[in-house]
Amino acid sequence: MNYQIAVEGTEFSFPCDSNESILDAAQKAGFELPYSCRKGVCASCEGRLVTGQVLVGGENPDRILDGAHDGLPFCKTWPLSDLLIAPKRIEKIDPSARKTITATVFRVLRPTPDVTLLHLRFPAGNKVKFKAGQYLQVLMDDGQRRSFSMANPPAEKDGVQLHIRQVPGGRFSEGVVSSLCGGDKLTVELPYGDFYLREESSKPILFVATGTGFAPIKSMIEDALRQGTSRDMILYWGARKAQDLYLASLPMRWAEEVENFTFIPVLSDPEPDWVGRTGLVHKAVLEDHPSLIAHQVYACGNPAMTTACREDFTKLAGLPVSEIYCDAFVIGA
């Protein structure tokens, strides 16, 4: 069955088949809703059903909902009638801007045993537009896809840098990345995601990362610095041990050279000689900023951390729900 989905407070509407998620149908019709994992885990795509009947999956058992409901994950919601919905944001996009490219491995660096910095070059003439903070999908030989964020700023158009954490048993990060060499080929599709810097805002920015969640934040900060932003920027980067902050010298250098940039590393399981902040990274943010009413937050990395940021910053520190953007690095996505 084919249904019509209308968006409250706008002129927008799009068709959606009963076996198609609302997120997929919106994208097919050229609209972008907020999303990250597409697996019903990260809550980025949650929005309101105003009227109509839907099937919500990803839960056990699946639920049928009728009429007004908040907090529906549109990546796991299928229509059972025409609907009126109220997503957190919706904008028109150009679907042809997404490209599939066979890239060449240019450089492979391993700053720590479980993180690989992968530089890919695109074939000459294949320049791709993306926004700082967005991600790509690697298309594997068996048809599976894996998501990784671009770590370079968009101005560097002839390729991408990826920061890949090795997941134990991971088909791509262990099975493919660990043996990659210069000259090898990888097929990637980009850009994806709505985790990108909102340049129209003048609010101070709080970046919160764990592990390789630093990758898209590096892209955003480098892009903002390139554009000469005057916004205050603070980066909290959390990890277990100091060596897990695999590129700490870079934000340390920004902090020395850029007046409006501050770097606060936070370790949850430090060696005895660590003199910096300790504990969970989102708690360190709250200790320093009991009020976040005037901030804009970008949180990226471990899904437990992004969930804690979303919940605690909005409930305990007054951060407006519309001022937090998250990319949860969900495994298998």
Ligand X SMILES: Cc1cc2nc3c(=O)[nH]c(=O)nc-3n(C[C@H](O)[C@H](O)[C@H](O)COP(=O)(O)OP(=O)(O)OC[C@H]3O[C@@H](n4cnc5c(N)ncnc54)[C@H](O)[C@@H]3O)c2cc1C
Angle between helix 281-288 and 303-317 (nearest 10): 20
Q: Are 226 and 313 in contact (CB under 8 A)?
A: no
Residue position matching structure tokens 């953007």: 325
**Amino acid symbol at 22:** I
Residue 165 binding result from ligand X, ligand FES, none, given CB thresholds of 5 to 8 Å by partner type? ligand X
* Residue-wise DSSP of 208-270: EEEGGGHHHHHHHHHHHHHTT--S-EEEEEEESSGGGSTTTHHHHHHHHH-TTEEEEEEESS-
Q: Which residues pair with 206 in a beta bridge?
A: 234, 297
Strand partners, 54: 65, 79
Q: Residues binding ligand X: what is the number (CB under 6 A)? A: 26
164 binds, among ligand X, ligand FES, none (CB under 5 to 8 A by kind): ligand X
Residue 52 is classified by DSSP as: S
Contacts within 8 Å (CB) and 24+ apart, 126-130? 126/99, 126/101, 127/157, 127/158, 128/99, 128/101, 128/157, 128/190, 128/191, 129/97, 129/154, 129/157, 129/191, 130/154, 130/190, 130/191
CA angle 159, 33, 70 (to 5 degrees): 145
For residue 331, the partner it binds in ligand X, ligand FES, none, with Cβ less than 5 to 8 A by kind, is ligand X
Answer for which of 77, 212, 229, 302 binds ligand X (CB under 6 A) is 212
How big is the chain, counted in residues?
A: 333
Residue 73 binds what, of ligand X, ligand FES, none (CB under 5 to 8 Å, by partner type)?
Answer: ligand FES
Tell the smallest beta-carbon distance from residue 42 to ligand FES (Å): 3
Residue 137 contacts ligand FES per CB under 6 A: no
Cis peptide upstream of residue 320 (ω within 30 degrees of 0): no
* Residue 55 dihedral angles phi and psi, to the nearest 5°: -105, 125
Closer CB to ligand FES, 70 or 142, in the complex: 70
Dist CA 146 CA 127 (whole Å)? 21
Residue closer to ligand X (CB basis): 122 or 148: 148
281 binds, among ligand X, ligand FES, none (CB under 5 to 8 A by kind): none
- Is 218 a residue that touches ligand X (CB under 6 A)? no
Amino acid letter for position 330:
V
Out of ligand FES, ligand X, none, what residue 35 binds, judged by CB under 5 to 8 A for its kind, is ligand FES
Q: Annotate each residue in 53-92 with x if it binds ligand FES (CB under 6 A) or - if it does not, as one string.
A: --------------------x-x-----------------
CB of 75 to ligand FES, least distance (A): 3
- Binding mask 139-178 toward ligand X (x if CB under 6 A, else -) reads -------xxxx-------------xxx-x-xxxxxx----
Closer to ligand FES by CB, 221 or 305: give it: 305
When the beta carbons of 158 and 189 are compared against ligand FES, the nearer one is: 189
Binding mask 25-44 for ligand FES (x = CB under 6 A): ----------xxxx-xxxxx
- Let me know: does 130 contact 150? Beta carbons within 8 Å: yes
Provide, rounded to whole angstroms, the least separation between the CB of residue 134 and ligand X.
Answer: 9
Among 123, 182, 276, 332, binds ligand X (CB under 6 A): 332
Q: Which is nearer to ligand FES, 37 or 215 (CB)?
A: 37
The structure tokens 């990274």 sit at 281
Q: Which of 7, 22, 45, 308 binds ligand FES (CB under 6 A)?
A: 45
Binding site for ligand FES (CB under 6 A): 35-38, 40-45, 73, 75
Binding site for ligand X (CB under 6 A): 36-37, 135, 146-149, 163-165, 167, 169-174, 193, 212, 215, 327, 329-333
